[in-house]
Amino acid sequence: EHQGKASSCTWAVWPQSCLHRYGFLLLLLHSLKTVTALEKKNIISKLGDNVTLSCIYTKKNLQLKNLRVYWQIADDSYQEKCSVVHALISGQDDNTNQCIRFKDRTQLFWDRLESGDFSLLLLNVSQSDGHTYKCVVQEKTEHPKVIHQAEVALSLAASYSQPILSGPIRNSDSPGEEVTFNCRSGNGYPKPNVYWINKVNNSRLSPSKIEIIPHDDGTFSVFSTLKVKATSNMQIECSIENEMLQENLSANYTQQKKSTGSGTESDENLGKKGQGAQAAGIIGIVFVIGLLTGLICWLWRRRSSNLVSYRDGQPIENQGGLNSPA
């Protein structure tokens, strides 16, 4: 009975006439699982990368024109949204039923098909590509026969940026010597774990706030705030963990020794020095301008008196006119 239905879904018109029977087809493939071993793989890719979903059949020589290879999303509940990721029918790509999300983003390796490598190159992956993909290879005999299947679970990840730790900020309105540290990072996927560590004895500190903000591109930013009692030798570390990538990025704060002055004090000194230098500069410029003005006046006088002495023989009336600019 199964075979009767299957044969009405003929090769020549597939997949159009077969798609509405997709559920049935899957059921058929399901029942053949015992015949063909299903190889399963997990891969992790970073957002924006190109990823190769592997599907390799090595058992015998293949005639491409007798084959039908299709890649689909294995999750049954996803079938209605996207049934075909990529299809190769009788040795040619068949885009007719490819779902739009994968348009121009999938490629088979043409030089490797003859040797049974039906791996799929998926370009520019985004977090919405995180699914389990299934490759099904059918051989055209009297009835289509599944000769190979493979599943690849694709997980997406993105590294967080180097965390930025700021603080300590004194909390004037709180009792005791409480200080606040802030730590932020971003551009990561999936959601991170945030750890605050007291490096003096490597104990965990609990933050007063962890805020994880999703962005349109699917990545997350993270902001965390820690409030601690100030001590004389604070060493605080903020660590952002991407569990999927097994990555931990950290930033730390180490309190300066009292003898050399704390960070803020030396900053203030630097500020004062800077202001002093500025004032000295201005005084210097004013002094130089004054000096130049004096020099110009002196030169002008000299020139005028020279002219006067040169024209000594001339009538006296001109002397007043020449001297007036000085």
Range in contact with ligand NAG (rule: CB under 6 A) among 46-54, 208-216, 269-277, 293-301: 46-54
CB of 157 to ligand NAG, least distance (A): 13
Using the minimum distance from each CB to ligand NAG, give the nearer residue, 147 or 179: 179
Residue 8's H or E segment, with its range, is helix 2-8
Q: Which position among 195, 210, 223, 304 is part of the footprint of ligand NAG (CB under 6 A)?
A: 195
Q: Is 52 in the site for ligand NAG (CB under 6 A)?
A: no
Q: Which position among 7, 49, 101, 299 is part of the footprint of ligand NAG (CB under 6 A)?
A: 49
Q: Which residues contact 224 (CB under 8 A, 6 or more apart)?
A: 182, 183, 184, 194, 196, 207, 209, 210, 211, 238
Using the minimum distance from each CB to ligand NAG, give the nearer residue, 58 or 203: 203
Binding mask 272-301 for ligand NAG (x = CB under 6 A): ------------------------------
Other beta carbons less than 10 A from residue 60's beta carbon: 8
Q: Is 140 in the site for ligand NAG (CB under 6 A)?
A: no
Tell me which DSSP letter residue 56 carries: B
Q: Could you give the C-alpha distances from 144 to 67, 110, 116, in angstroms and in order? A: 9, 23, 17
For the chain, the distance separating the N- and C-terminal CA atoms, rounded to the nearest angstrom, is 123
Q: Is 311 helix (H, G, I), strand (E, B) or coil?
A: helix
Evaluate whether 122 touches 55 at the Cβ level (below 8 Å): no
Using the minimum distance from each CB to ligand NAG, give the nearer residue, 32 or 210: 210
Interatomic CA distance for residues 320 and 218, integer angstroms: 87
Q: Is 246 in the site for ligand NAG (CB under 6 A)?
A: yes
Residue ranges in contact with ligand NAG by CB under 6 A: 48-50, 123-124, 126, 195, 197-201, 203, 231, 239, 241, 246, 248, 252
